[in-house]
């Protein structure tokens, strides 16, 4: 038998083909360095996989969408302002007047009930007016 050559500690720790393992470790360290890029850098790098025409169309679509959203926001603000002020000027006075009229009618009904009794106040007839006809005509 031939005399075996003594093995170094590195050879004892690494299996056969161990030099490949060391290269893999170095590659993993390099990969970890590449992972330190930011999200924006990654997204920017992904744009390179699309043709220039697609990128331009996507950019134009985004710009158009943003512009339409801004215009719709401005329009809705103006429409809400016009609608609210128009309601306040045109409708609220009518609502207040009808409420005032109802309150006056309630007060008159209460005064009739106090002066003439509860039955006349509910009938709604005017004092001094003829009583309603009870028979058929």
- 50 vs 90: CA distance, rounded Å: 57
Write out pLDDT tens, residues 63-94. 999 999 999 999 999 999 999 999 999 999 99
Q: What is the pLDDT of residue 95?
A: 95
Please give the angle made by the CA atoms of 15, 17 and 22, to the nearest 5 degrees.
Answer: 85
The residue whose two tokens read 């093995």 is 7
Name the pLDDT band for 35 (thresholds 50, 70, 90).
low
- 48 vs 41: CA distance, rounded Å: 12
Alpha-helix runs per DSSP H in the chain: 9-13, 18-34, 39-47, 52-90, 92-116, 118-123
Which candidate, 97, 119, 44, 28, places its Cα nearest to that of 127?
119
Instruction: Confirm whether pTM is higher than 0.85.
Output: no
Q: What is the pLDDT of residue 11?
A: 59
Name the pLDDT band for 57 (thresholds 50, 70, 90).
very high
Q: How much is the mean pLDDT over the chain? A: 80
More confident residue, 25 or 9: 25
Q: What is the pLDDT of residue 122?
A: 56
Paired tokens of 136: 């058929």
50: Cα separation from own chain's centroid:
32
Write out pLDDT tens, residues 95-112. 999 999 999 999 999 998
């Amino acid at each position: 038998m031939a005399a075996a050559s003594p093995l170094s500690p590195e050879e004892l720790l690494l299996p056969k083909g161990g030099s490949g393992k060391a290269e893999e470790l170095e590659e993993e360290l390099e990969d970890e360095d590449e992972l330190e890029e930011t999200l924006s850098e990654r997204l920017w790098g992904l744009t390179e996989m699309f043709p220039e025409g697609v990128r331009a169309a996507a950019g134009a679509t985004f710009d158009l969408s943003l512009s339409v959203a801004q215009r719709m926001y401005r329009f809705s603000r103006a429409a809400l302002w016009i609608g609210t002020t128009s309601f306040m000027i045109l409708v609220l006075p009518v609502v207040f007047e009808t409420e005032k009229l109802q309150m006056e009618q309630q007060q008159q009904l209460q005064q009739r009930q106090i002066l003439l009794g509860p039955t006349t106040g509910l009938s709604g007839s005017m004092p001094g007016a003829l009583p309603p006809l009870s028979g058929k005509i």
